[in-house]
Every structure is written in structure tokens, then in C-alpha cells.
Amino acid sequence: MDEPDKQDALSRLSEKIAAKREDAQAAPSRRGEGSALGLAYRLTVEMLAGIGVGGFIGWWLDKVLGTAPLFLLIMLFLGMGAGLMNSVRTVADMRRALDKQQDGPGSGSD
């Protein structure tokens, strides 16, 4: 294989690589959609877990102490508050991680 043939093969290969890179960059990323759905599920589970645990503890206290719905209502509200606090904390942590990822290493902000 002589020198001009090698140059032609190399230029064709470079063109193919450039075309593949453009295709990869132009393709929309579905990664953000998946992480948003995961975040929605996580926040829902955290809220339901807080309400469920609070409700169970309140029901158990009412059963043991014989105080009808008093502790059930109190613990349900505390469980809602705990679930909401966990959700807010999770969103804040994810937001910080996203901001740090977008800033990139060596940006000097921290």
C-alpha cells in the first residue's frame, strides 16, 4: 500500500469518527428523565414511610394506653412532618450534587 492510499484511508477513517461523534452529541440524553422519575419515586416513598411509621406508632400507643385516636393523630402529623423534612433534605442534597457536577472539577467554587 503506497503513501496516497494510506492518506485516503486515514482521512476516510477520520471522517467516520467525526460523524459518529456528531451523532453521539446530537442524540438527546434520556438520563435526566430517568433520574427525575427516580427522584419522584424516592420522595413519594419517603413521605409514605414517614406517615406509615408515625401512624403505626400512634396506633400502637393508643392501643397500649387506651387513648382512642389521640396519639394516632399526633403521630400522623409528626410522621408527615418527618417525611416532608426528609424530602426537602433529599432534594437539597441532590441539588448540591448537581451544582457541583455542573461546576466541574477545578472551578475553584466551594
Predicted pLDDT at 38: 84
Predicted pLDDT at 79: 94
Do you know the residue count of the chain?
Answer: 110
In a domain, 23, yes or no: no
Predicted pLDDT at 104: 67
Query: Distance between CA 30 and CA 34 in Å, rounded?
Result: 6
Query: Distance between CA 68 and CA 97 in Å, rounded?
Result: 45
Predicted pLDDT at 10: 83
Q: Which three cell numbers stand for residue 55?
A: 401512624
Report H helices in 1-110.
3-26, 31-65, 70-103
Q: Which three cell numbers stand for residue 85?
A: 423534612
Mean pLDDT by 10 residues, the chain (110 residues): 78 87 69 72 91 94 91 94 91 86 64
What total of structural domains would you count in the chain?
Answer: 1
